[in-house]
A and B are shown apart, each in its own frame.
Chain A
Amino acid sequence: MRPGTIPAEHVLEVRGVSKYFGDFSALRRVSLRVAGGESLLIYGPNGAGKTTLLRILASLVQPSEGEIALDGVRVERHSTAYKKRVGFVSHQTFLYDELTVRENLRLAAKLFGVRNLETAIDSALGLFSLQDRAADIAGRLSRGLQQRVTLSRALLHDPDFLLLDEPFTGLDAASVVALESLLRQLPMQGKAVIFSTHDFAQGASIASRMLELDRGAVRYDGAMTDAPWAALRARPEEAVRG
């Protein structure tokens, strides 16, 4: 799906965002506009700033410069209205090891003010075939199962913007297929999906658009179909050599 083929009801904008950690600049004046119905792959070598950008979008990290805007309105620090519309899957699972899968999801659902709590939880469990695992203690699950619970958790409140940082980590083949299918379906429902992955082929098969980051700066931002393929294939080798 090409960007702009679906009416953009929701627009998330990154306006000249930079992030410094001491002397190190993790992001340098990144600007970006993502509309509902888009599927954006954030691609780049290690240290490119993918995670920092996603954490800023999730409002876990405040930018050093620039701002984030939602539907044209600047997102204030700890804006609850913004957080309600964003779901985030990180490298970490955000799961309490001592609680069961259902208890973890119930906690998240209550914090996000989800209505029809148990129905929403059952539905989220069903997305990744976790119904039989609902009563299991989260800390005793394998990494792959925990990742499935994390994905379910991020989707519980039906966010308009789904942010995923390396979401395929630890998933088995069936779960990868289920997640790929979900990431293709969500834009069709007017949701925006923004995700990073090191597997370029996998990302390219899902995303309609790509943002390539290199040492914190935008190197390419455009439709997946227009991406400079040959150059992209060469860049990981450059990164290894460099």
Chain B
Amino acid sequence: MRALDILWTLFRKDLRIEWRQRETLASICVFGVLVVLLFNFAFTPAGEESLRLLPGVLWIAFAFAGILGFNRSFAAERQNACLDGLRLAPIEPGLIYLAKMLSSLVFLAIAEVVIIFATALWYNFSFVPSIKWFVSIVFLGTLGYVGVGVTFGAVAANTRMREVMLPVLQFPVVVPIFIAAIEATSGALRGEASSQFASWVRLLVVFSVIFIVLSFLLFEYVLEE
């Protein structure tokens, strides 16, 4: 019960800080939409070609928006050594990870909604026919991506070139997530039977669960100097 209370307290703290400074959400939304827009101008896809490009374009936009968000999510903690302030508290270090993961998930999910709307508009594409699977895949992919991103965001927060270090450290690890997410999104958007992309969805679930559980258990070592 106390763990849930702590989790809620830390999560609300992140939301309140974001509400006051409005930096993370604004920047990741704008950046994600710009990526989609640039791809649209570069390829000017139409019809079947849109369907072929869309999954990749969407996940590239999510990836870039996410990397910006993960860097920002630890900016407030670096200020005045607030992360040390959290480490002084008699709480399970994994709760700091879970709270940061939840707030990053909310911010990235909001950005993804904006990016998907912009994509539907510019690519003249309707996500409605495959909405159930599409939303599930985006959720699972984002969950896994955020699970990894927060861990490496915390690692990079203690390094000097953190803005550079984060993508360098993180992208090799999240490659399986993006491959699975793009393949599954592609299948869902084409209207294929779910059995045809179910293995990719399973991979997303397994990867997310393993990484989140491991990060929760090992986060105390990540936070150490």
Inter-chain contacts of A80 with B (CB < 8 A): 90-92
**How many residues from A make CB contacts under 8 Å with B?**
31
A83 adjacent to B16 (CB under 8 Å): no
Task: Give A61 Cβ to nearest chain B Cβ, in Å.
Answer: 6
Known: A61-B225, A93-B80, A95-B82. A111 touches B91 (CB 8 A): yes
Contact of B89 among A90, A93, A108 (CB under 8 A): A108
B interface majority secondary structure = helix
Known: A80-B90, A88-B88, A111-B91. A96 touches B82 (CB 8 A): yes
Contact of B90 among A93, A99, A112 (CB under 8 A): A112
Known: A96-B13, A96-B80, A111-B6. A83 touches B88 (CB 8 A): yes
A174 at the interface (CB under 8 A from B): no
CB under 8 Å from chain B, chain A span 68-90: 77-78, 80-84, 86, 88, 90
A94 adjacent to B84 (CB under 8 Å): yes
Q: Given the complex of chains A and B, what is the CA–CA distance between A15 and B106 in angstroms?
A: 46
A90 adjacent to B6 (CB under 8 Å): no
Task: Give A94 Cβ to nearest chain B Cβ, in Å.
Answer: 3
Inter-chain contacts of B2 with A (CB < 8 A): 113
A2 at the interface (CB under 8 A from B): no
A interface majority secondary structure = loop
Q: Given the complex of chains A and B, what is the CA–CA distance between A12 and B23 in angstroms?
A: 44
B20 at the interface (CB under 8 A from A): yes
B81 at the interface (CB under 8 A from A): yes
Q: Given the complex of chains A and B, what is the CA–CA distance between A103 and B86 in angstroms?
A: 14
Q: Please give me the 10 A-B residue pairs with the lowest Cβ-Cβ distance, nearest first.
A: A94-B85, A92-B81, A111-B89, A80-B90, A83-B90, A98-B20, A98-B17, A84-B90, A93-B80, A110-B9
Could you list 19 examples of A-B contacts with CB < 8 Å?
A: A60-B88, A62-B224, A78-B93, A78-B220, A80-B90, A83-B88, A84-B90, A92-B84, A94-B84, A94-B88, A96-B76, A97-B79, A98-B16, A98-B20, A99-B17, A99-B20, A110-B5, A111-B89, A112-B90
**A residues neighboring B (CB under 8 Å):** 58-62, 77-78, 80-84, 86, 88, 90, 92-99, 103, 107-108, 110-113, 153
**B residues neighboring A (CB under 8 Å):** 2, 5-6, 9, 13, 16-17, 20-21, 76, 79-82, 84-93, 220, 224-225
Other CB < 8 Å A-B pairs besides A77-B220, A93-B80, A153-B85, 7 of them?
A59-B88, A92-B81, A95-B82, A96-B13, A97-B80, A98-B20, A113-B2
